[in-house]
């Protein structure tokens, strides 16, 4: 699809098969410059001889420095050798005996039709999205591409066609403005952020899965990219809200839960997530970015954010209580297999339960603990000690958090007699819940 110019018609310097170099404007029309021709943009043209016996219709690119309209694609001509339907498809240029008149035109393929299919190229679809400030995926009209070299990783914003943003093909971001509206910012030059070799972003364990978030800040009309990790190979996470302003630290470093920008730090600016990069196997050496992310995903309104629950499994528990002697030992009350959607995420495990000391279990201590396999997870445990010889029931709600760094895991509610008495202890649990938390 080509661009349009109003009432543009001119004489080139010569005929032949060469490109059209502007010479003079035809009376009653505008020159390309006066009509607003843009350097590097494509236009459709019609060239016709003075006796109208030879003509050529095609598409070319305007070069402002040399005032030249190229004859890149010949669609139709008087010899029938154009590339369009009904022509020979050869695409041969007309050899004009003298300089023809050239005028900028619009043809059917350049017109938006509502009663028939439109055959738009990827570049044309991208331009339409920019013009309409619309994107079917995200709040910006581009993509994010990852590259890595020499231990550093770069995340770059590209157009939908995979090119750097430019004046001809900008990428437009739609930011909140804090006043119930949207601020549109166009990026017309390459835009990227690089995490240097040695910068861990708080991910200090070799081979541990993690996720890097890529954000965009509106710094007074300048878009600045930022990187961020919400969890640091340990329990806990932060979930910054896109409805509020945030600040950044200059140059990616070694901390999680910090927005890092390059070029300049920002203070109290509106921002948004644009992508996240998940490293399901982590980095072989923390801080050495030598592999591509397992998944690089654009973020839209429906995408999970840090802290979102993305999966929940509830087990009702056993039909009855587990009765054991109060001699020292460990016993499974509930065991539940769980498959993670991503090894980079955290898990919350909780269960309702009770410890029932039967008559005669005086001096016994019973403990319920949440485990990953046989390993306890924090802080999920509770203990009761029965100092009397009467029945005693201790009801509990145990909660624990885990970062399993694996996709397949078995969580358990386990009973443990840590001291012996002289009777029986019963254990039971129900509503055993496992929830995966996106980080």
pLDDT tens digit sequence for 74-105: 999 999 999 999 999 999 999 999 999 999 99
Give yes or no for residue 224 having a pLDDT over 80. Answer: yes
Spatial strand order of the sheet with 408-419 comes to 329-339, 408-419, 364-372, 375-386
Q: What pLDDT score does 426 carry?
A: 79
pTM, two decimals, is 0.73
pLDDT tens digit sequence for 318-377: 877 777 765 667 889 999 999 999 999 999 999 998 888 776 666 677 788 999 999 999
**Mind listing the domains of the chain with CATH numbers?**
9-110 (no CATH), 128-305 (no CATH), 312-437 (2.60.120)
Q: What's the whole-number mean pLDDT along residues 195-222? A: 96
Instruction: Please enumerate in sequence order all residues whose Cβ is within 8 A of that of 11, keeping only pairs 6 or more positions apart, or say none.
Output: 23, 24, 25, 26, 99, 101, 102
Q: What's the whole-number mean pLDDT along residues 385-395? A: 73
Distances (CA, A) of 66 to 17, 23, 168: 17, 11, 19
Percent residues over pLDDT 70 in the chain: 88
pLDDT category, 43, cuts 50, 70, 90? very high
- Using H for helix, E for strand and C for coil, what is the string for the chain? CCECCCCEEEEECCCECCCEEEEEECCCCECHHHHCCCCCCEEEEEEECCCCCCEEEEEEEEECCCCEECCCEEEEECCCCCCCCCCCCCCCCCCECCCCEEEEECCHHHCCCCCCCCCCCHHHHHHHHHHHCCCCCCCECCEEEEEEECCEEEEEEECCCCCCCCCCCCEEEEEECCCCCEEEEEECCCEEEEECCCCCCCCCCCCCCEEEEEEEEEECCEEEEEEECCCCCCCCCCCCCCCCCECCEECCCCCCCCCEECCCCCCCECEEEEEEEEECCCCCCCCCCCCCCCEEEECCCCCCCCCCEEEEEEECCCCCCEEEECCCEEEEEEEEEEECCCCCCEEEEEEEEEEEECCCCCCEEEEEEEEECCEEEEEEEEEEEECCCCCEEEEEEEEEEECCCCCEEEEEEEEEEEECCCCEEEEEEEEEEEEEECC
Could you give phi then psi for residue 122, rounded to 5 degrees?
-60, -40
Give yes or no for residue 392 having a pLDDT over 80. Answer: no
Q: What pLDDT score does 204 carry?
A: 93
Q: Are 157 and 141 in contact (CB under 8 A)?
A: no
CA dist 312 and 317 (Å) reads 15
Instruction: Name residue, tokens 């020499």.
Output: 150
Q: What's the whole-number mean pLDDT along residues 382-389? A: 68
Q: Which of 145-159, 231-245, 305-319 has the lowest mean pLDDT?
A: 231-245
Q: What's the whole-number mean pLDDT along residues 25-46? A: 96
pLDDT tens digit sequence for 97-145: 999 999 999 988 777 766 666 666 666 665 666 566 555 446 888 999 9
Q: What's the whole-number mean pLDDT along residues 211-220? A: 97
Tokens of 129: 């999205």
């Amino acid at each position: 699809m080509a661009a349009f110019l109003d009432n543009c018609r001119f004489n080139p310097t010569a005929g032949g098969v060469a490109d059209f170099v502007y010479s003079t404007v035809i009376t009653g029309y505008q020159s390309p410059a006066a009509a607003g021709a843009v350097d590097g943009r494509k236009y459709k043209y019609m060239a016709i001889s003075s006796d109208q016996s030879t003509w050529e219709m095609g598409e070319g690119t305007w070069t402002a420095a040399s005032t030249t309209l190229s004859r890149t694609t010949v669609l139709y001509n008087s010899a029938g050798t154009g590339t369009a339907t009904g022509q020979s498809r050869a695409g041969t240029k007309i050899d004009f005996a003298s300089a023809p008149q050239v005028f900028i035109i619009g043809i059917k393929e350049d017109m938006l039709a509502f009663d028939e299919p439109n055959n738009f190229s990827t570049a044309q679809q991208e331009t339409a999205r920019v013009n309409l400030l619309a994107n079917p995926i995200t709040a910006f009209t581009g993509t994010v591409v990852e590259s890595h070299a020499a231990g550093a990783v770069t995340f770059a914003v590209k157009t939908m066609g995979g090119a750097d943003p430019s004046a001809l093909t900008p990428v437009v971001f739609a930011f909140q403005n804090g006043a119930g509206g949207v601020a549109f910012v166009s990026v017309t030059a390459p835009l990227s952020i690089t995490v240097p070799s040695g910068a861990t972003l708080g991910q200090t364990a070799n081979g541990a899965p993690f996720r890097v978030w890529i954000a965009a800040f509106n710094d007074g009309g300048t878009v600045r990219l930022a990187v961020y990790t919400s969890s640091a190979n340990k329990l806990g996470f932060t979930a910054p809200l896109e409805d509020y302003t945030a600040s950044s630290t200059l140059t990616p470093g070694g901390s999680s839960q910090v927005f890092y920008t390059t070029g300049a730090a920002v203070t109290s600016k509106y921002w948004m997530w644009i992508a996240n990069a998940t490293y399901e196997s982590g980095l072989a050496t923390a801080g050495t970015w030598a592999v591509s992310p397992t998944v690089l995903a654009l973020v839209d309104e429906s995408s999970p954010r840090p802290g979102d629950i993305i999966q929940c499994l509830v087990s009702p528990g056993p039909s009855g209580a587990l009765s054991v002697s109060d001699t020292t030992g460990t016993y499974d009350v509930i065991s539940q297999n769980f498959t993670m959607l991503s090894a980079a995420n955290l898990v919350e495990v909780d269960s309702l339960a009770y410890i029932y000391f039967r008559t005669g279990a005086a001096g016994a201590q019973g403990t319920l603990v949440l485990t990953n396999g046989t390993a306890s997870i924090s802080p999920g445990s509770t203990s009761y000690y029965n100092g009397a010889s009467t029945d005693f029931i201790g009801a509990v709600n145990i909660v624990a958090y885990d970062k399993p760094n694996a996709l397949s895991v078995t969580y358990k509610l386990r009973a443990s007699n840590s001291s012996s008495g002289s009777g029986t202890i019963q254990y039971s649990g129900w509503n055993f819940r496992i929830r995966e938390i996106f980080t």
